[in-house]
Amino acid sequence: MSATNRNRLSAGGLIDRNQTRGFSFDGTRHRGYAGDTLASALLANGVRLVGRSFKYHRPRGIFSAGAEEPNALVELRTGARREPNTRATVTELYDGLEATSQNRWPSLALDALSLNRFLAPFLGAGFYYKTFMWPAAFWEKVYEPIIRRAAGLGRAALEEDPDHYEKATAFCDVLVIGAGPAGLMAALTAARSGARVILADEDFLPGGGLNAEAGDVDRQPAPAFAAGIAAELASLPNVRVMTRTSVFGVYDGGTYGALERVSDHLAVPAPFQPRQRLWRIVARRAVLAAGATERPIVFGGNDRPGVMLAGAVGTYVQRHAVLPGRNIALFANNDGAWRDMLAAQAAGAHVETIVDVRAEVAPELIAAAQAKGIRVLKGAQVIATHGRTLRSLEVATASGTERIAADTLAVSGGWSPCVHLTCHHGGKPAWNEDIAAFVPGTCPPGLSVAGAAKGILGLGACLRDGAETGAESARALGFTVPAHEVPEVADAAFALTPFWHVEGSKGAAFVDLQNDVTAKDVGIAHKEGFRSVELLKRYTTLGMATDQGRTSNVTGLAIMASLTGASIPETGTTIFRPPYTPVSMGALAGHHRGKDFRPVRLTPTHEWARAQGAVFIETGAWLRAQYFPRAGEKDWLETVTREVTAVRASVGLIDVSTFGKIDLQGRDVGAFLDRVYINGFAALAVGKARYGVMLREDGLVMDDGTTARLSPEHYVMTTTTANAAKVFQHLEFCLQVLWPELDVALSSISEQWAQIAIAGPRARDVLARVADGDVSNAALPFMGAVEGTVMDGVKARLFRLSFSGELGFEIAVPARHGAALAQALMQAGETFGITPYGIEALGVMRIEKGHVSGSELSGQTTAGDLGFGRMASTKKDYIGRTMAARPGLADPDRPAFVGFRPVDLSRRLRAGAHFLNRGAAPETANDQGYMTSVAYSPHLGHWIGLGLITRGPERLGERVRAYDPVRGEEIEVEICAPGFIDPEGVRLRG
Amino acid sequence: MRIPCPYCGERDAHEFSYLGDATLTRPDPAAADAEQAFHDYVYLRDNPAGAHEEWWYHANGCRQWLRVTRDTRTHAISGAAPARKSGEPA
Amino acid sequence: MRYSFLSILANGLSGQKGWTPTWRDAAPKPGYDVIIVGGGGHGLATAYYLAKVHGIRNVAVIEKSVIGSGNAGRNTTIIRSNYLLPGNEPFYEWSMKLWEGLEQELNYNAMVSQRGILNLFHSDAQRDAYARRGNAMRLAGVDSKLMDKAGVRAMYPFLNFDNARFPIQGGLLQARAGTARHDAVVWGYARGADRLGVDIVQNCEVTGFLREGDAIVGVETSRGDIRAGKVAVAVAGSSSRVAAMAGLRLPMESHVLQAFVSEGLKPMVDGVITFGAGHFYISQSDKGGLVFGGDIDGYNSYAQRGNLPVIEDVCEGGMALMPRIGRLRLLRHWGGIMDMSMDGSPIIDRTPVPGLYLNAGWCYGGFKATPASGWCFAHLLATGAPHDTAGAFRLDRFRTGHLIDEKGVGAQPNLH
């Protein structure tokens, strides 16, 4: 172990010195305490170099103490749990934590690509747009692979994430975002009114800036004050305090996205606990109290490890009892940073020098500094830094340049309110001259901003503003807010002189530390005309890194403004896009991954089919039996051939419950069906079913199916499996919107009824043994539909329908009886060798019979294309009729539905092959159509196909080529009528 | 986005499916200009930037078609009414 | 200034002092031969080819904001020509050919990178549909390759093959497809057009049309009236609004499409992959970010942002396909406004209003079309006749029924 915690103060801080936390960085073991972040623990152990920059691979150290961190990105954890680009500054230390530096090779100290710094003069903004173009083929082969390997930051895990994620939804009256001084007070006042409050904070410890505050609030140390309020809130039944929870986005209707890090402070999640939880919080009002982010001043060498935001120095000293360095200097333009240093000094840090760009600084500050032995340089600027990690600074003063020793340089250029969430609905922040920062502009509906996020700098003012904003939010919802007392804290004046960039400083001066964008790059963008803020960002990549430019956007804008001579607000605003901080993909996906990606729908006979040895296949959301292999069958084709042969020779059964089933009742159902089907239904007799085709209003085929009339005002419709929901929605639209005057009520009964088809010459014999009533040809003729009972009293609907071309029935029973029906049919059919068949065999038989199915109902075909032209009634209006008459849809040259057989009957056909006339060149102009469906026909002993080919029905007997280059095949096929079996329909009427 | 369903109360928009412009009326198919009228009905849209009356179907709820008024610039919803007016059969 | 290795060397040595504006920020002149409304990729490419191919250089591109601030900079940068229908495929292949020579043509590195697009399929029916498409591509002279599961596994071993709700069965590969750096395409065309004399007028919003009788003879703008022989509109999601100023209703709705980028990572996804069992596609930029997207949000919108259900849906698809990305983080998401046409295919045509030309309806596929869209729109403007490869993109096809509906979902834009 290293000299543990050599930079740790012996007392103070919000750490628990009794709870040590062992961790490692780049393989070296260290120790920290509960209450540390990885960054504070690294600093405590004297680790100053933590990463390499994106482009030039420059050594980088910890720069901040929060989510704005641009430098200290590490790979956290190992193996399948490796998390690249993790900010050490917000990573709660846990026992056994392993972190590794990234974007370096072979090691952090000796990074080969740091040689890029010698090329830096040539690698300015946008250099890659101007070169790497010769020769053209070199881009993919040479230049780009090198660039891709050099770019990127951390490495993704190689294996599946082993942890689980959850999603949850919460509702509240007031959502308070941020548990700093303003947020705590806002939550408290809102909560005391009785409003349902959610207080969310990204930190593991509520309090925000109070936890780094040296002074007292309400006669107690600031952190204790924060803890007291948090405890009161947690005790209230109408409040939920969510720590480790980042509200990352504002969506419509008062919906906020939030990420709760349930287990990220543990080595692995506890059993049955998720790693993270995605929250959708629906809030009637929200208070944004996200605080403000300090921003640096840009100067030469400002990226050297040891250069750190002044507020971060304060946080490490006060909250973590860590000295970021032994000898601290400050470079600032404002009073707040002075106070941070004075407080740090009081807590045990050694601050030797304060460099302030201002010529005039409040005398009491100067006196306070000098009283503590701090040297003050006014009107001075840091122009360079030295050391592998920081050893000294060069400071230009009125009297010349001097070199000052320091191992830590605290920098402060002022504060930028965290306006991020206010921009998520397109609101643009407004420039506030007083604090030289962007403050919230138009906010999303229901969102108010409080405290530092609003541009209020000063603890007392933030407490007051938080209380008032919380009260206002509750009042706006009709709650009565009791009188509330706000602790008095005297705020010192906030004095700041805007200052952005030390011109003429030595060495590269970085604006965006993570993306290595320098002040000179902003200059290039200016010269080349990329002056508006959007163009500046895109051209230089300023603000596009994982920190979204929290510490760089305003500075970049200010430098551009100084070059153009325009003001900062004239130059542009900084807009932040969601998420506020990056959100893991796992959390956004939740449980929807692997086999649980989407729900599975099972048919009522699923378990029965499984017991029969079925192989299942995904068809949309359904799992359906694909086929039922038997021992000794060598492949699926042998199985399917057996199933088809058995049906055509005797009898088989299949579950067809997946078809959409719609119940229609009312006086006007017949008239309604007439309007939605192309063919007539008004004359359909009770006890009969009819096949129908529906169009979309644009005239193309939407779906097909049968509708049966069970009683004068009661019909049931079936749709295809794929279009079940779509057709139901369409029918509801027709009824509710187009023809509300019709007396029709619809109900989807797909889930309520199991439906099993039996087919084959013995189908009636089987049915007779199961049905309670007469199922003779006279009682139940072809296309008959009756209600009755089966299995001694189970309510049933019997339909005499055939998809296979054989004598066929469909038996519908309430879903709970589906499996029993299957068993009863199996038993009844045993003597006939009844064979369960799957959807492959179903498909083979429908192709043999020449029925259209999903491949033909592609949404690109007309009724005419599919051979339904003569079905279309000319005596009535129906959905799609008018538009179907357009010349493009009525064109006789359109590909139309026919059958195909290979000329050489030993050849296999392939769906997706295109048709070319014999001798025609393979080019688009000669494309005649394509094969929609194919099957090996056991009945015929060769492959057959269905397809669409130009003027197909006029070309029966003609030979064309089925062109299938993606599978390396081209064979001759003969066009034939689409019915390959029993074209007269003798079997199904038998 | 949350839709105030008149039957179910306010619900997240993902329970609904969307069809678009609710100001269109299906033309009279027997009219002389039916072809032109249907072309306009099926294909042409005002597509306004601002208030938009539109059809949403509460597929995972009451299965009613709702006429929702929503601002396409802000997604703010100002109302939702059933397609079927009261008095008509439900 | 011509960009070259030498220009970079010289400027590097001179402290980057010699660079000049990439394009002039022009003030509008009183009149032009052609005014192009919309300074996105399509508008700028149109201006470039008008000047370069047809010698029509008295041209202005009018942009309400800065160039490339709309969909040109909000897309997922994919280029491909793997279309099914004969109305589309030759056009997109022409675009691909223009991409292949674009950087040398423009002397600007748009990082056109042909690392391939793989469309995965998960069922026999999907396989056959992709076979149909792959064969249609071959008929049009375009590369396509139908891959089986083993082939896909060899290319992308980290996809979820073994524990999937919808197992991968294979994919259709177009090896010549890939990505390009979207902003660079805009800047490259702007620079090229500018050098040929085209005026690029930024921060100039069109507020109306100048008319003489029925004809349009110019535009009213926030910077004054500008006359033109022809006015060409290429404003994507704003098409209906601009057309309304001319009294036209279009077969179009504006919808929001979200796009996503992760934090930067070392290379892990080489080409473009599309998931066939959900709404998810992904590539990785040269900078290292995973760039991904899914379906449109599904409702009319002019707000350039979307909502959580689609964000979640996209990430669910991502995790279902690539379970190793669970601990990677979404860095940013944003929305663009798509000009969703009623059949999912574009329009490059003259309008019924004399003098007014329309380039619109690109749905979420406009970026890949940029070069050919510019080429064909310029051809139409210069010659008065549609270009051979864009002959199907007519405005009256909805009247005649010659629809180009790749997905077969009909006149419902949110399903395309």
Per-position DSSP letters for A381-437, written without gaps between them: EEEEEETTTT-EEEEEETTEEEEEE-SEEEEE--EEE--GGGGTTSPPPEEETTTTE
Beta bridge partners of C327: none
User: Which CA distances in Å does A342 have to A318, A336, A337, A339, A369?
Assistant: 12, 10, 9, 5, 7
* Residue in chain C lying closest to A600 (CA): C165
Q: Across the interface, which of A282, A736, A881 has its CB nearest the CB of B83?
A: A736
- C239 closest CA partner among C374, C351, C327: C351
Which stretches within A57-138 are classed as H helix?
116-119, 138
- CB contact set of C359 (below 8 Å; sequence gap of 6+): C42, C43, C46, C232, C233, C234, C346, C347, C348, C373, C377
Helix axes A181-192, A459-476, angle to 10 degrees: 30
The reply to whether B14 touches chain C by the CB within 8 Å rule is yes
Q: Across the interface, which of C249, C252, C303 has its CB nearest the CB of B75?
A: C303
B10 assigned to some structural domain: yes
Q: Across the interface, which of B42, B59, B90 has its CB nearest the CB of A883?
A: B42
Q: What is the pLDDT of residues C213-265, one digit of tens each?
A: 999 999 999 999 999 999 999 999 999 999 999 999 999 999 999 999 999 99
- Rounded to the nearest angstrom, the minimum Cα separation between C252 and chain A is 15
Q: Is A6 left (phi over 0), alpha (psi -120 to 50) or beta?
A: alpha
Question: Domains (ranges, CATH) in chain C?
Answer: 40-81+84-104+182-251+343-400 (3.50.50.60), 112-181+254-341 (3.30.9.10)
Beta bridge partners of C329: A584
Q: Tell me the Cα Rg of chain C.
A: 21
Q: What is the pLDDT of residues A190-208, one digit of tens each?
A: 999 999 999 999 999 999 9
> Looking at residue A2, what is its pLDDT?
45
Q: Are strands A660-665 and A714-719 parallel, antiparallel or unpaired?
A: antiparallel
> Looking at residue C217, what is its pLDDT?
98
- Rounded to the nearest angstrom, the minimum Cα separation between A251 and chain B is 7
Cα(C1)–Cα(A242) distance, rounded to whole angstroms? 57
Within 70-89 of B, beta carbons closer than 8 Å to A belong to 74-77, 82-85, 88-89
* Residue in chain A lying closest to C85 (CA): A924
Identify whether the C-beta of residue A677 lies closer than 8 Å to the C-beta of residue A665: no
> What length does chain B have?
90
Test the C interface: residue of A54, A573, A703, A924 with most C CBs within 10 Å: A924
The reply to whether B75 touches chain C by the CB within 8 Å rule is yes
Cis peptide leading into residue A902 (ω within 30°): no
Identity of residue C202: Q
Cα(C228)–Cα(C35) distance, rounded to whole angstroms? 6
> Looking at residue B89, what is its pLDDT?
47
User: Which CA distances in Å does A938 have to A615, A645, A910, A942, C232?
Assistant: 20, 7, 17, 7, 60
For the domain that residue B34 is a member of, what is the CATH number? 3.30.2270.10
The reply to whether B90 touches chain A by the CB within 8 Å rule is yes
Neighbours of chain B (3+ CB pairs under 8 A): A, C
- Residue A638 in this model has a pLDDT that exceeds 50: yes
Q: Strand, coil or helix: what is A843? A: helix
Asked if C299's CB is within 8 angstroms of B42's CB, the reply is no
- CB contact set of A424 (below 8 Å; sequence gap of 6+): A249, A250, A251, A444, A576, A577, A578, C305
Q: How many domains does chain B have?
A: 1
> Looking at residue A3, what is its pLDDT?
57
Cα(A764)–Cα(A758) distance, rounded to whole angstroms? 9
Within 106-145 of A, beta carbons closer than 8 Å to C belong to 121-124, 127-134, 136, 139-140, 144
- A150 closest CA partner among A100, A84, A105: A105
The reply to whether C397 touches chain A by the CB within 8 Å rule is yes
Quote the tokens at residue C301: 């919108």
Cα(A531)–Cα(A774) distance, rounded to whole angstroms? 86
Beta bridge partners of A972: A961
Q: Are strands C356-360 and C289-300 parallel, antiparallel or unpaired?
A: unpaired
Asked if A144's CB is within 8 angstroms of C286's CB, the reply is yes
> Looking at residue B87, what is its pLDDT?
47
B76 assigned to some structural domain: yes
Strands of the sheet containing C289-300, edge to edge, are A583-584, C329-341, C252-264, C289-300, C281-284, C272-274, C117-121, C170-174, C145-148
Cis peptide leading into residue A106 (ω within 30°): yes
Beta bridge partners of A157: none
Asked if B59's CB is within 8 angstroms of A729's CB, the reply is yes
Q: What is the pLDDT of residues C158-191, one digit of tens each?
A: 999 999 999 999 999 999 999 999 999 999 999 9
Question: Domains (ranges, CATH) in chain A?
Answer: 16-131 (3.10.20.440), 166-292+417-476 (3.50.50.60), 306-413 (3.50.50.60), 499-565 (1.10.10), 649-844 (3.30.1360.120), 891-989 (2.40.30.110)
Cα(A561)–Cα(A567) distance, rounded to whole angstroms? 6
- Residue A37 in this model has a pLDDT that exceeds 80: yes
B31 assigned to some structural domain: yes
> Looking at residue B84, what is its pLDDT?
82
Beta bridge partners of A812: A755, A797
B65 assigned to some structural domain: yes
The reply to whether C1 touches chain A by the CB within 8 Å rule is no
Identify whether the C-beta of residue C374 lies closer than 8 Å to the C-beta of residue C48: yes
B51 assigned to some structural domain: yes
Q: What is the pLDDT of residues A707-717, one digit of tens each?
A: 999 999 999 99
User: Which CA distances in Å does C57 have to A847, C45, C106, C193?
Assistant: 60, 13, 16, 9
Cis peptide leading into residue A740 (ω within 30°): no
- Rounded to the nearest angstrom, the minimum Cα separation between B48 and chain C is 7
> Looking at residue C13, what is its pLDDT?
87
As a whole number, mean pLDDT of residues A831-853 equals: 97
Q: What is the pLDDT of residues B34-72, one digit of tens each?
A: 999 999 999 999 999 999 999 999 999 999 999 999 999
> Looking at residue A494, what is its pLDDT?
82
- Residue A272 in this model has a pLDDT that exceeds 90: yes
> Looking at residue A135, what is its pLDDT?
83
Within chain B, how many helices (H) and strands (E) appear?
A: 1, 6
B59 assigned to some structural domain: yes
Q: Residues of chain A with pLDDT > 70: what percent?
A: 100
- Residue A277 parent element (H or E): strand A276-288
Beta bridge partners of A375: A353
- Residue A61 in this model has a pLDDT that exceeds 70: yes
- A748 closest CA partner among A720, A710, A782, A717: A717
Cα(C322)–Cα(C159) distance, rounded to whole angstroms? 5
Phi, psi of C273 (to 5 degrees): -125, 135
As a whole number, mean pLDDT of residues A3-29 equals: 94
Mean pLDDT of chain A: 96
Phi, psi of A525 (to 5 degrees): -55, -40
> Looking at residue A106, what is its pLDDT?
85
Asked if C68's CB is within 8 angstroms of A595's CB, the reply is no
Identify which has the larger pLDDT, A256 or A55.
A256
Which residues of B are less than 8 Å from C398 in CB distance? 39, 42-43
Cα(A528)–Cα(A530) distance, rounded to whole angstroms? 6
Cα–Cα–Cα angle for C245, C61, C193, rounded to 5 degrees: 160
Identify whether the C-beta of residue A20 lies closer than 8 Å to the C-beta of residue A4: no
Burial of A599 (0-12, 13-18, 19+ CB in 10 A): exposed
> Looking at residue B86, what is its pLDDT?
57
Q: What is the pLDDT of residues A43-53, one digit of tens each?
A: 999 999 999 98
Which stretches within A872-927 are classed as H helix?
881-884, 887-890
As a whole number, mean pLDDT of residues A178-192 equals: 98
> Looking at residue A372, what is its pLDDT?
94
Asked if C315's CB is within 8 angstroms of A585's CB, the reply is yes
- Residue A313 in this model has a pLDDT that exceeds 70: yes
Identify whether the C-beta of residue A901 lies closer than 8 Å to the C-beta of residue A974: yes
Q: What is the pLDDT along chain C (416 residues), one digit of tens a residue?
A: 889 888 888 888 888 888 999 999 999 999 999 999 999 999 999 999 999 999 999 999 999 999 999 999 999 999 999 999 999 999 999 999 999 999 999 999 999 999 999 999 999 999 999 999 999 999 999 999 999 999 999 999 999 999 999 999 999 999 999 999 999 999 999 999 999 999 999 999 999 999 999 999 999 999 999 999 999 999 999 999 999 999 999 999 999 999 999 999 999 999 999 999 999 999 999 999 999 999 999 999 999 999 999 999 999 999 999 999 999 999 999 999 999 999 999 999 999 999 999 999 999 999 999 999 999 999 999 999 999 999 999 999 999 999 999 999 999 999 99
B90 assigned to some structural domain: no
Asked if C300's CB is within 8 angstroms of B20's CB, the reply is yes
Which residues of A are less than 8 Å from B90 in CB distance? 745
Q: What residue ranges in chain B does DSSP mark as E strands?
A: 2-5, 9-12, 17-21, 51-57, 65-71, 77-82
The reply to whether B2 touches chain C by the CB within 8 Å rule is no
Asked if A425's CB is within 8 angstroms of B2's CB, the reply is no
Identify whether the C-beta of residue A305 lies closer than 8 Å to the C-beta of residue A88: no
- Rounded to the nearest angstrom, the minimum Cα separation between B23 and chain C is 14
User: Which CA distances in Å does C217 have to C48, C240, C246, C331, C351?
Assistant: 22, 19, 11, 46, 14
- Domain span holding position B21: 2-82
B16 assigned to some structural domain: yes
What pTM value is reported for the model? 0.97
Neighbours of chain C (3+ CB pairs under 8 A): A, B
- Residue A140 in this model has a pLDDT that exceeds 90: no
Q: Across the interface, which of C249, C301, C413 has its CB nearest the CB of B72?
A: C301
